[in-house]
Amino acid sequence: MAPVVYPTTNLTATEQLVFERGEGIYIFDNKGKRYIEGLAGLWCTSLGYSNQEVIDAITEQLNTLPFSHTFGGKTHQPIMDLAEKIREIVPVEDAYVFFGNSGSDANDSHYKMLRYYFNAIGKPEKRKIITRERGYHGVTVAAGSLTSLPANLAHFDAPLEALSILRTASPHYYTGRRGNETEEQFVDRILEELETQIQQEGPETIAAMIIEPITGASGVIVPPNGYYEKLQAILRKHDILIWADEVICGFGRTGNDFGCTTMGIQPDLMTFAKQLSSAYFPISAAVIPGWMYEAMIEPSNQVGVFGHGFTYSGHPAACAAALKTLEIYERDNMFAHAAEVGAHLQQRLRETFESHPLVGEVRGRGLIAALELVSNKTTGASFDKGIAGATAQRACEKHGVILRAVAGNALAFCPPLIITTKQVDDMVAAVSVALDETYGILREQNLI
Ligand code: PMP
């Protein structure tokens, strides 16, 4: 094994797939085997693997100005153009954009900008952040503490106490309901618990709540109807900002421009990465409203500097990649395409898997979905240690589809936005064979 500390990997595992090249929605390993990239890499390669226009835009920028930083009075055209473009398309008033390199650092940047802002307006006590069980927001120190998945917290002494993070229930009805609770009763109960928590903590001590409109890495959870409407009313009532982490949902994934649009959320802050540049170059964006920026100007006047920034904040080649990606989304009506093919994916998944003995729930919206693998379809009982998810993931790879088992036994789909209905059918057919095989393997092991 090469001396790499592999990220988010069981470090004792020795099995590896080595990839060599990509083309459209397909990726090829070093033995020449072709796979459908059913998770768009890590929920990011929206335009697939061979978009020459994006490659040319990056190359041209590298040939002209391969680097220029943006600290202390320096700037360049691509960063200015990209910020203007983002302002034009986001549902945040007079948006300002802080650029970074990853979803994690964008969330850390938001965390710090919130502190900076509330200090600036003389409310330093308004500092706590609410996050949800099963939320995924990255792995840096603040973002990693906002994440609620056990593997991202255990052994890192996270969440860091000083970050003042509050946790509330995940809006996943299938795994979170009690007894015969209806969806509406479930929503009312978890939101009542949240409001009690807000009152106990004191709303004046809570800055924001971070939400993924539809969660990705923690199992593709689509909250029940009514959840966001009621949640927003509670947060507005208590003057708590809504921080939408659109790292996966942003740019067409859910069939609309943003996950917030699909789920009816009016965000104050937004986080973007991944599909912002279709992963051709790392870039992230932490979007804040104009009124927040105006207040942030004050302390920097006194202290002399807004002391937060990365060497590669707004790297020119990354901005060029993002600008071209956004141009292609618009020119090719990519979000309408994602809505259409996404509806087909959702329908095919339900038709094919709802009656499968291994599948407890089929869920998703647009081009993001998951199958919840269960050992007992009636009770919804799960498998230990993600054994079904891991087995299914391997079986899918054998049959030429890359998917990702997340949150244990949820098999996640998130193909490139450019996928066609025919390619969706190919993918679903291969996964169907793989799931039957998985069922057989788990039976042989007496796990069902
Ligand atoms: N937020 C969400 C919703 C994510 O899905 C991810 C990554 N899967 C992140 C933040 C972190 O992004 P990155 O891996 O680029 O740091």
* Closest C-alpha to ligand 1, atom 7: 138
Count of helices and strands (H, E) across the chain:
15, 15
Q: Which residues of 56-68 are buried (b: 16+ CB within 10 A; e: fewer)?
A: ebbeebeeeeeee
CA of 136 to the centre of ligand 1 (A): 7
Here the tokens at position 86 are 């983002």
Note whether 131 and 240 are same-domain residues: yes
Q: pLDDT for 55-111, tens place per residue?
A: 999 999 999 999 999 999 999 999 999 999 999 999 999 999 999 999 999 999 999
CA distance 376 to 366: 28
CA distance 41 to 414: 9
Note whether 291 and 348 are same-domain residues: no
Atom of ligand 1 nearest to the CA of 42: 8
User: pTM to 2 decimals?
Assistant: 0.97
Q: What is the helix (H) or strand (E) element at residue 427, kind and residue range?
A: helix 421-444
Q: pLDDT for 133-174, tens place per residue?
A: 999 999 999 999 999 988 899 899 999 988 999 999 999 999
Is residue 235 assigned to a domain?
yes
CA distance 424 to 342: 9
Q: pLDDT for 205-215, tens place per residue?
A: 999 999 999 99
Cis peptide leading into 159, omega within 30 of 0?
Answer: yes
- Is the ipTM, as predicted for this complex, more than 0.85? yes
Note whether 305 and 338 are same-domain residues: no
Is residue 16 assigned to a domain?
no
Amino acid at the residue 185: Q
Note whether 413 and 269 are same-domain residues: no
CA distance 322 to 316: 10
Mutation pick for ligand 1 pocket among 101, 137, 253 (CB with most ligand atoms within 8 Å): 137
Q: For the domain that residue 427 is a member of, what is the CATH number?
A: 3.90.1150.10
CA of 266 to the centre of ligand 1 (A): 21
Residues 6 or more apart whose Cβ sits within 8 Å of residue 398: 434, 437
Mutation pick for ligand 1 pocket among 247, 310, 312 (CB with most ligand atoms within 8 Å): 247
* Closest C-alpha to ligand 1, atom 1: 137
Residue-level pLDDT at 385: 84
Mutation pick for ligand 1 pocket among 274, 283, 414 (CB with most ligand atoms within 8 Å): 274
Last residue of a domain, one of 261, 296, 331: 331
Residue-level pLDDT at 161: 87
Q: By residue range, what is the domain housing residue 366?
A: 333-444
Note whether 400 and 289 are same-domain residues: no
Note whether 311 and 387 are same-domain residues: no
Atom of ligand 1 nearest to the CA of 215: 3
Calculate ∠ Cα 347-351-352, nearest 5°. Answer: 115
As for how many domains the chain has, the answer is 2
Last residue of a domain, one of 299, 331, 363: 331
Residues 6 or more apart whose Cβ sits within 8 Å of residue 76: 65, 68, 70, 314, 316, 319
Residues 6 or more apart whose Cβ sits within 8 Å of residue 360: 174, 372, 373, 374, 377, 380
Residue-level pLDDT at 243: 98
Note whether 360 and 370 are same-domain residues: yes
Is residue 18 assigned to a domain?
no
Here the tokens at position 357 are 């003995």
Note whether 322 and 341 are same-domain residues: no
Q: For the domain that residue 108 is a member of, what is the CATH number?
A: 3.40.640.10
Question: Which SS3 state, helix, strand or coil, does residue 184 take?
Answer: helix
Note whether 264 and 192 are same-domain residues: yes
Note whether 162 and 118 are same-domain residues: yes
Atom of ligand 1 nearest to the CA of 140: 16
- φ, ψ at 384 (rounded to 5°): -70, 145
Is residue 71 assigned to a domain?
yes
Is residue 28 assigned to a domain?
no
Atom of ligand 1 nearest to the CA of 107: 10
Note whether 173 and 318 are same-domain residues: yes
Is residue 270 assigned to a domain?
yes
Here the tokens at position 120 are 């600036």
Last residue of a domain, one of 331, 361, 387: 331
Q: Do the Cβ atoms of 249 and 198 come closer than 8 Å?
A: no
Q: Do the Cβ atoms of 208 and 241 come closer than 8 Å?
A: yes
Question: Residues lining ligand 1, CB < 6 A?
Answer: 42-43, 102-104, 107, 136-138, 212, 216-217, 245, 247-248, 273
Note whether 259 and 359 are same-domain residues: no
Residue-level pLDDT at 317: 98
Partnered with residue 215 across adjacent β-strands are: 221
CA of 104 to the centre of ligand 1 (A): 6
CA of 146 to the centre of ligand 1 (A): 11
Is residue 10 assigned to a domain?
no
Give me the half-sphere count of Cα atoms (radius 13 Å) on the Cβ side of residue 443: 8
Is residue 250 assigned to a domain?
yes
Q: pLDDT for 308-321, tens place per residue?
A: 999 999 999 999 99
* Closest C-alpha to ligand 1, atom 13: 103
